[in-house]
Structure 1
Amino acid sequence: MTKILDSLREETSVLHKELEKDNLANKIMVHSIKLEEYKLLLFQNFIAYKSAESEIAKFLSGYNSDKYVRLENDLRGLGFTDFSYDLNFSCANEAEAIGAAYVIEGSAMGGMLIGKEVSNCNSLNAIPEQEFFNGNKSNVKAWNNYLKFLRSRDFTNHEIDLATAKAKETFLLFKDAFKVQFSNSY
């Protein structure tokens, strides 16, 4: 595999593990999530994906991830109407966008596993069919395209360092998003 991918994996592994254990998705895996917690999880993911995807698209031509759109559709289906919350996140160049995309596109595998468990959660039996956590294998297509892109070119050590630093920052973006709680208006 490429040097950049090795760096991204190695340098973010601790943050990745911390993030996985500290969010509401674990309650889906053990089938104990309540509907309001599920809505919060969707919203937390929505604000993180929206912040990151819009920045990545500025620097990677042809990038058209739709994760935040699918999350918004799921939230609307659950009666959610206020999508105005923003997190502070930006990319300054292509290398940083590549690092952020590593986290965004790499999340597809975890999302697919989580999606397979949603139907096993009794408290979620009445929700409409989900677009984001749906367990569909086609959700990893963008990850495979991302890997092809990484393999298609060489990266300087400076680009690798920039990408790795932004990948870490993107994990921290999710960590911040997972701290967000609903106000009384939700």
Structure 2
Amino acid sequence: MEAFLVSTSIVALAEMGDKTQLLSLVLAARFRRPWPIVAGIFVATLFNHMLAGAVGAWVTTVLGPQALRWGLGLSFIAMAAWMLIPDKLDEDDTASAAPRLGVFGATALAFFLAEMGDKTQIATIVLAAQYDAYLWVVAGTTLGMMLANAPVVWLGERITRRVPIRAVHGVSAAIFLVLGVMTLLAPALA
């Protein structure tokens, strides 16, 4: 259960102000059909995070415990630094896919591609490597993405004007930093 709760909260916080959250806002403004947009976000996130979780679980079979501990600790610290860099959405991320694929298809494709190499995908890999609970991590990171993106689809700009994105990024960075330091110091704390 810890893997689920940590994964949910980390990804929900990491997603605030992320390019995929901005993509949610753009898709909502462009199509004005929230249900297929949210369904597309869910499907894309689920597939993306299942792949990322599988990579994270695989890493644990390749690396020894010391290398894994150092890799995870440093990855968490790198994520902390990355959280402090604001994301922006490229204008052409959704333009070419929408007409032929419909709202659901355009959303699913755009979201899946936007998540490739993104903070939350990397976080899913790291969390799956940290916890021996693949399904709980994928379920948690997917829920975290939905918690951050679905309200944006329905409430749009009202949320983004009221949520202090810089503060959310700071809290997320602090959480990743603490996780990284705790991971690196784990043998000393035991």
- Judging by fraction of residues, say which structure has more helix: 2
Alignment TM-score, normalising by the size of structure 1: 0.31
Query: What is the TM-score normalised by the length of structure 2?
Result: 0.31
